[in-house]
Chains A and B, each alone.
Chain A
Amino acid sequence: MAKPLHEPGLVLDGFRLEERVHRGGMATLWRVSHPGMTAPMLMKVPRIGEGADPAAIVSFEMEQMILPRLSGVHVPKFIAAGDFTVQPYLVMERVVGKTLYERIGVLPLPYAEVADIGVKVATALDDLHRQHVIHLDVKPSNIVLRPNGETVLLDFGLSHHDQLPDLMQEEFRLPFGTAPYMSPEQLLGVRNDPRSDQFALGVLLYFFSTGVRPFGESETLRGMRRRLWRDPVPPRSLRPDYPPALQEIVLRCLETEPAWRYPTMAQLAFDLSHQDQVKLTARSERLRRDPFTTVLRRRFNKDLTTPRPKAALAAQLSSAPIIAVAIDLAEGHADIKHALRVTTERILATLPSARLACLNVLKQARLTIDTTLDEHGHNKHVDRMVGLKYWAEPLKLDERRLTVHVIEAIDPAAAILEFAQVNRVDHILIGARQESLMRKLLGSVSAKVAAEAACTVTVVRPTYIDEAAKP
Chain B
Amino acid sequence: MLIAFFADIHANRQAFSACLAQARDHGAERFVLLGDYVGYGADPEWTVTAVMDLVEKGAMAVLGNHDSAINNPREQMNVEAKIAIEWTRGELGPSEREFLAGLPLTLEDRDRLYVHADASNPKGWNYVASVADAARSISATPAPITFCGHIHQPALYSMSATAKMTSFTPTTGFAIQLLPGRRWLAVLGSVGQPRDGNPASSYAMLDTEKRELTYCRVPYDVEQAAAQIRKKGLPTWLADRLRVGN
Q: Which residues of A contact B (CB under 8 A)?
A: 54, 57-58, 61, 64-65, 83-85, 88, 162-167, 169-171
Residue among B171, B176, B179 with max Cβ neighbours from chain A (10 Å): B179
User: Are A171 and B179 in contact (CB-based, < 8 A)?
Assistant: no
User: Are A165 and B176 in contact (CB-based, < 8 A)?
Assistant: yes
User: Are A170 and B166 in contact (CB-based, < 8 A)?
Assistant: yes
User: Are A84 and B176 in contact (CB-based, < 8 A)?
Assistant: no
Given contact pairs A163-B171, A169-B166, A170-B166, enumerate 5 new A-B contacts (beta carbons under 8 Å).
Answer: A65-B176, A84-B180, A85-B180, A164-B174, A171-B166
A residues less than 8 Å from B132 (CB atoms):
none
A residues less than 8 Å from B131 (CB atoms):
170
The docked-state distance in angstroms from the alpha carbon of A395 to that of B156 is 47
Option from A83, A88, A164, A171 in Cβ contact (under 8 Å) with B164: A171
Q: Which residues of B contact A (CB under 8 A)?
A: 131, 156, 158, 160-162, 164-168, 171, 174, 176-177, 179-182
User: Are A167 and B166 in contact (CB-based, < 8 A)?
Assistant: yes
Residues A65 and B179 in contact in the complex (CB < 8 Å), given A165-B168, A171-B166:
yes
B residues less than 8 Å from A166 (CB atoms):
166, 168
User: Are B166 and A165 in contact (CB-based, < 8 A)?
Assistant: yes
Option from A54, A85, A163, A167 in Cβ contact (under 8 Å) with B174: A163
The docked-state distance in angstroms from the alpha carbon of A85 to that of B162 is 16
* A1–chain B nearest beta-carbon distance, Å: 9
User: Are B166 and A61 in contact (CB-based, < 8 A)?
Assistant: no
Question: Which chain B residue has the least Cβ–Cβ distance from A165?
Answer: B168
The docked-state distance in angstroms from the alpha carbon of A58 to that of B168 is 16
User: Are A54 and B166 in contact (CB-based, < 8 A)?
Assistant: no
The docked-state distance in angstroms from the alpha carbon of A164 to that of B134 is 18
Option from A61, A163, A169 in Cβ contact (under 8 Å) with B179: A61
A residues less than 8 Å from B182 (CB atoms):
61
A-B contact count (CB 8 A): 47
The docked-state distance in angstroms from the alpha carbon of A238 to that of B180 is 52
A residues less than 8 Å from B168 (CB atoms):
164-166
The docked-state distance in angstroms from the alpha carbon of A169 to that of B165 is 10
Question: Which chain B residue has the least Cβ–Cβ distance from A163?
Answer: B171
* B20–chain A nearest beta-carbon distance, Å: 26
Q: Which 10 A-B pairs have the closest CB atoms?
A: A165-B168, A163-B171, A84-B180, A84-B181, A170-B166, A163-B174, A171-B164, A165-B166, A85-B180, A61-B179
The docked-state distance in angstroms from the alpha carbon of A54 to that of B164 is 11
A residues less than 8 Å from B166 (CB atoms):
165-167, 169-171
Residues A170 and B179 in contact in the complex (CB < 8 Å), given A163-B174, A165-B156:
no
User: Are B158 and A88 in contact (CB-based, < 8 A)?
Assistant: no
Question: Which chain B residue has the least Cβ–Cβ distance from A164?
Answer: B176
A residues less than 8 Å from B165 (CB atoms):
170
B residues less than 8 Å from A61 (CB atoms):
179, 181-182
The docked-state distance in angstroms from the alpha carbon of A297 to that of B92 is 70
Residue among A65, A83, A85, A170 with max Cβ neighbours from chain B (10 Å): A170
User: Are A165 and B160 in contact (CB-based, < 8 A)?
Assistant: no
* A407–chain B nearest beta-carbon distance, Å: 39
Can you give 28 A-B contacts (C-beta < 8 A)? A54-B160, A54-B162, A57-B160, A57-B181, A58-B160, A61-B179, A61-B182, A64-B177, A64-B179, A65-B176, A65-B177, A65-B179, A83-B180, A84-B179, A162-B171, A163-B171, A163-B174, A164-B168, A165-B166, A165-B167, A165-B176, A166-B168, A167-B166, A169-B166, A170-B131, A170-B164, A170-B166, A171-B160
